[in-house]
Amino acid sequence: MRGKFFTIVFIVLTTKVDGLPNLYAGQCPLLVPSSMTTKIPSQLGKKRPHFITIAHRGASDSLPEHTLPAYRLALELGADYIEADLVATKDNKLVSIHGIDLNTTTNVALLYPERHRTITLDGKNTSGYFVFDFTLEEVQTLRVKQRIGGRSTFFDFTFSIPTIQDIVNLLHDWNHNIIVKNNSTKRSGIYAEFKNPQYYLQQLNISLVDIFLQEMDRNEYADKMFFNTKNQTKFGCERMNEYQVPPLVIQCFDIETLREMRSKLHSKGMAQPSYVLLANAKQCHLPDFWSRVDKLGFLSGIGPDKKCVISETAGKEFINQAQKLNLAVHPYTSREEIEFVTSQFASAEDELRWLYCSRGITGMFVESLDLGVKIGTRGCEDFQEMQEQKDSTEMKKEGNDKHKHATLSQESCSQHNNKNVTTMKSATWIMIGTCLGLWMSRWFSKIGQSIDMGILKKLSIGKMNSRKSLITFKENMVTLIKVGSIHLKMKVKAKTR
């Protein structure tokens, strides 16, 4: 095992893609090695959970998203990563917020109503209060609110928008001061996304990558935490069987932005972070998606919409392709509210457990941190047993349904046979009545000429000649037969209902 592990590390550190070496400088891979982690709860004292918990915009189900308290709460609850969505202000400072429109999560419309305008974004007219129209000083006057309805609004408009400097400082304090006092060795990282980088580049002539690197140069902790240019620290995978998450992950929907980041870090001689390509529900199933991913060669993972991996056939194929390329799969997003849970699951916990234990994802963007951590620490040891019990119950139910169906079929056949018998009896009596009527009419026709008019009077047929009386009698018999037939049919229908 020891030789195997160091062989893997050696390959990672010396492999070249497009002429650029992958310099991870002692970082563990984002795809968690099974030898260093576990899905079995009884082994958690020696190994960490296999599941990577990414705090989607912090502990955003409890506090307003992208605020320092939300990030700190996520760390307290056991997050492996805190996610920062990075956008640039008018004076080229990076802040973390939902997107370029400040109105989505802040009180900007109240404080700066005159700043509202319309831009063309991704080919569509989009109106809002855009962060690149505000200086950092102005942005920091805003206060953040809870974005999703139904959650607590107690802390609305209490917290400000953090800068990337604030977030790095918070994480450094957590990793180097807080967890040390708690005798913990688990280190957390930043999972950073560049938002709308092509708009910044094409419309504003601003590179978010350049601004990010400038911000890191300004921070006294960033080099030691993330890039290791002066070999000041080790990232955690130098020791056997001890896994630490890579300290920095850069994610983006735009491939060119990831390429730009990698190239510029290489030119500075800095260690590379892990790179994750994000994909929405349409992008992940494009015919050329995996060929483009394969050609990139430097990705550590894929961040798909969870719809990409839940569908039965396409979802399995997505995971298989990722495994072939040795990529982590970190879907977005798990939320506890039932309206965000895929319809085939009863709860967010059922959905997340199935994604982890059955479908095979290696991490997830979650907004309920206690749920995400619970999934990892609970593991999958009992999942197979629960699935077998569920399958057994469903098989019994299916068997009962078949038995019920068979019983209903037998009853239906019995009723059908009874109906046929009754119908046959009815038809027989109709035929007998018809034959009897015809026979009687013919008999009366033969003797009609000899019948005395007095007898007819006594029979109350009236003052009619014998021929007319016999015709009337025949018609009356046919009418009686028809009425009798209709009556019998009505009785048959009543019995079969």
Residues annotated as catalytic (active site), given as ranges: 56, 98
CA–CA separation, 50 and 41 (whole Å):
11
CB 341 within 8 A of CB 348: yes
**Chain centroid to CA 284:** 13
Residues 6+ positions from 50 with CB-CB distance below 8 Å: 32, 34, 37, 38, 39, 362, 376, 379
166 Cα distance to chain centroid: 32
Residues 376/47, Cβ–Cβ less than 8 Å? no
Q: What is the residue type of 110?
A: L
Q: What are phi and psi of 416, to 5 degrees?
A: -65, -45
Token representation of residue 79: 């997050």
Residues belonging to the chain:
497
Cβ-count burial 221-259 (b if 16+ within 10 Å, e if not): bbbbbbbbeeeeeebbbeeeeebbbbbbbbbbbbeebbb
CA-to-CA distance for 209 and 212, rounded, in angstroms?
A: 5
Question: What is the distance between the alpha carbons of residues 335 and 354, in angstroms, rounded to a whole number?
Answer: 15
Tell me the two tokens of residue 264: 């510029």
The DSSP call for residue 22 is -
Joined together, the tokens standing for residue 494 give: 């009543």
Our measurement of the distance from residue 194's CA atom to the centroid of its chain's CA atoms, rounded to an integer in Å, reads 23
- Structure-block tokens of residue 476: 């009356």
The SS3 call for residue 17 is strand
Q: Provide CB contacts within 8 A for 360, sequence distance 6+.
A: 319, 323, 329
